[in-house]
Amino acid sequence: MRAAVLEELGTPVPGEFRDPEPASGAALVEVVAAGVNHLDLAKATGRFYTGPPPLPSVVGSDGVGRRTDGRLVYFDTTVGPFGSMAERTLVPEDSLIPAPEDVDPVILAGMGNAGLAAHTALHWRAGLQPGETVVVLGATGVVGRFAVQIARLLGAGRVVAVGRDPEQLAHTAELGADATVQLGAVDDLPGALAGANVIVDLLWGEPAVAALTQAAHGARLIQVGQLAAAETAVAAPLLRSRAIDIRGHAVFHAPQDVRAAAYAQLGEACASGDLHVDVEAVPIGEVQHAWSRQAAGTGGVKLVIVP
Ligand SMILES: NC(=O)c1ccc[n+]([C@@H]2O[C@H](COP(=O)([O-])OP(=O)(O)OC[C@H]3O[C@@H](n4cnc5c(N)ncnc54)[C@H](OP(=O)(O)O)[C@@H]3O)[C@@H](O)[C@H]2O)c1
């Protein structure tokens, strides 16, 4: 079958890979679309904290496809060496999540890892309460755009979008942000981010410290990504003085039922037009180009591989 194959650690290439065979406890899935995620790039380097992938293997962690009985499903794990960026893959039965039929499967795939990262960060990990103020650090990227919109859907009182690119920031206002803060263009960043109850942090580094500096009592910073820095210094008295929680987060920490409920809510919001997702479908033959675009940051457009 046609697949994006990792022959050596680094970047996959388009090629042929053997078809998955039925296995106990796993479902064969005919892939319709597979998300290109930072996670997939990290795994392909062999440096992701879950360990290096087998070689050769098919890349891709999540996607949307049809089971042999025709049901449309979303999945965010596969049985190695079969990844999601192929015509067919193998998925553990207990990892299958029903996908709605009334939304374009390419959008459903683009909504997967990134949408779930934002939803589970806000709802499951932060326990966002209606009326709370949410600050999204890195709001101009794919996860950030989801976080802005999902914070709205979950009843946030105020949503502050923080990023570098002014045009992309302006777009987050169209998506529902009450205020935008351009990094590098404000003199008093802590002041501009004051009062956060929940911080969705895709950046770490200086923006995260600034958001913590005048955060509300009991604020929760959900650490999701490190686009600005891998390490930073946070003053201990700051955390103690306002009972601030810093909580590390990855989608796979959320239990399966939590992910399934979040995915269902995102699907409904897409179908009703309350959630907007910009996706670009890329054929498997262009996977190397997709890899380099994802590495550079795609400016809010989610790349999706279609076999
Ligand atoms: N923990 C999880 O489960 C999970 C799941 C999904 C993603 N993630 C992580 O979340 C992060 C965001 O993912 P994504 O898919 O949204 O990325 P993306 O769509 O590629 O967006 C990248 C954005 O990052 C911004 N950026 C890059 N360097 C920056 C810096 N130094 N300071 C400020 N902004 C910077 C750029 O914004 P500007 O255009 O404004 O410059 C760019 O739009 C990544 O680190 C990813 O690994 C984690």
Give the long-range contacts of residues 294-300, CB within 8 A, separation 24 or more: 294/36, 294/37, 294/38, 294/40, 294/41, 295/41, 297/141, 297/227, 298/141, 298/142, 299/140, 299/141, 299/165, 299/168, 300/140, 300/141, 300/142, 300/144, 300/145, 300/168, 300/171
What fold, for 114-252? Rossmann fold (3.40.50)
Digit-coded pLDDT (tens) for 272-285: 999 999 999 999 99
Residue 173: what pLDDT?
A: 97
Q: What is the mean pLDDT of residues 47-66?
A: 94
Count the alpha carbons within 13 Å of 237 in the hemisphere toward its beta carbon. 0
Question: Can you tell me which residue has the tokens 């680094």?
Answer: 10
Residue-averaged pLDDT of the chain? 97
- Ligand 1 surroundings by CB, under 6 angstroms: 38, 113-114, 117, 138, 140-144, 163-165, 168, 183, 202-203, 224-228, 249-251, 297-299
pLDDT at 49: 82
DSSP conformational letter for 171: H
Q: Looking at residue 22, what is its pLDDT?
A: 87
- pLDDT at position 47 is 85
Question: Looking at ligand 1, which atom is closest to the CA of residue 138?
Answer: 34
Residue span(s) of the chain under CATH 3.40.50.720 come to 114-252
Distance in Å, CA 72 to ligand 1 centroid: 29
Q: What is the pLDDT of residue 243?
A: 98
**CATH superfamily label, 2-111+277-306:** Medium-chain alcohol dehydrogenases, catalytic domain (3.90.180.10)
Given pLDDT bands bounded at 50, 70 and 90, which one contains residue 297?
confident
Q: In the predicted model, what is the mean pLDDT of residues 191-203?
A: 98
Residue 47 DSSP SS3: coil
Share of the chain above pLDDT 90, in %: 97
**pLDDT, tens digit (0-9, with 9 covering 90-100), for 24-37:** 999 999 999 999 99
Distance (Å, whole) CA 283 – CA 88: 15
The torsion of the CA quartet 154, 158, 160, 166, rounded to 10 degrees, works out to 100
Q: What is the mean pLDDT of residues 182-198?
A: 97
Q: Is the pLDDT of residue 217 over 90?
A: yes
The answer to whether the CB of 204 falls within 8 A of the CB of 225 is yes
Summarised one tens digit per residue, pLDDT across range 246-269 is 999 999 999 999 999 999 999 999
CA of 10 to the centre of ligand 1 (A): 20
**CATH 3.90.180.10 spans which residues of the chain?**
2-111+277-306
For tokens 């553990």, name the residue.
Answer: 92
Q: What is the pLDDT of residue 299?
A: 74
Of 50 and 282, the structure prediction assigns the larger pLDDT to 282
**Across 288-301, average pLDDT:** 90
